Amino acid sequence: MPAQHRRLQITRTAHLYQLGDLSAATRHLWIVCHGYGQLAKYFIRHFEVLADPETVVIAPEGLSKFYLQGFSGRVGAAWMTKEERLADIEDYVGYLNQVLEDALQMAPSAEVHVLGFSQGAATVCRWLAQLQKPVKELVLWAGIFPEDLNLSQAQKMLLNVKLTYVYGLQDSFISPDQVQEQLDRMHQMGFTPDVLTFTGEHTLNAAVLHQLKDS
């Protein structure tokens, strides 16, 4: 007799890190999603350049954790893998919806900015494709539009949204051809993103973050 595959919805604890205090005075809310194998408590340190009395940064952490090497030592987190990927996507979309909803209850006047780094770029795209709340800005950093995001979803997601694509010129994970493929795909969808580059590899960059804050 073959084994049956069943699904069971459970309650679990998610972790997120925050710079600044949410309040009615908050004007800018940044939701920033890390890449594969990162942890939010370290990832959010890069965004200290954004935080000010009117700006709050929230870094949710992927729901799956694992040892980066072997069976001990450093731990990383991920948003999804190919195994049961649709269930993982459903879970993190619901998770990010709740993160944003809770934040906007405390900061109802805040404009929402979303940044996805590496694996986090595809993550935020899938999330925003179904989001019913307005977003002012989307930053895709060293990542891609997921191939399973269709044209109508993308157009809905990016309606009235400022789109920026960022990458390091020495990023070994993204070749110039891949960058051009991503930009061509965005152009085919009818979008013209701002493109920001920096001298560096697969990482965030403080000078570019300053530029995003001032734009």
Quote the percentage of the chain above a pLDDT of 70. Answer: 100
As beta bridge partners, residue 57 has: 19, 30
Residues in the chain: 215
Residue 203: pLDDT over 80: yes
pLDDT for the residue 151: 67
- What span, in angstroms and rounded, lies between the C-alpha atoms of 210 and 20? 17
Burial of 8 (0-12, 13-18, 19+ CB in 10 A): exposed
Instruction: Compute CA distances 54 → 33, 86, 176, 207, 211, whole Å.
Output: 20, 36, 37, 20, 17
Residue-wise pLDDT for 112-133, tens only, equals: 999 999 999 999 999 998 888 8
Long-range contacts formed by 7-14: CB under 8 A, 24+ apart: 7/87, 12/63, 14/60, 14/61, 14/63, 14/95
Q: What are residue 11's phi and psi, to 5 degrees?
A: -100, 130
The confidence score (pLDDT) of residue 156 equals 75
> What tokens does 81 get?
């893998």
The lowest-confidence range among 13-17, 142-146, 150-154 is: 150-154
In this structure, what are the phi and psi dihedrals at residue 88, rounded to the nearest 5 degrees? -60, -45
pLDDT digits (tens, 9 = 90+) for 145-180: 888 877 677 777 777 889 999 999 999 998 888 888
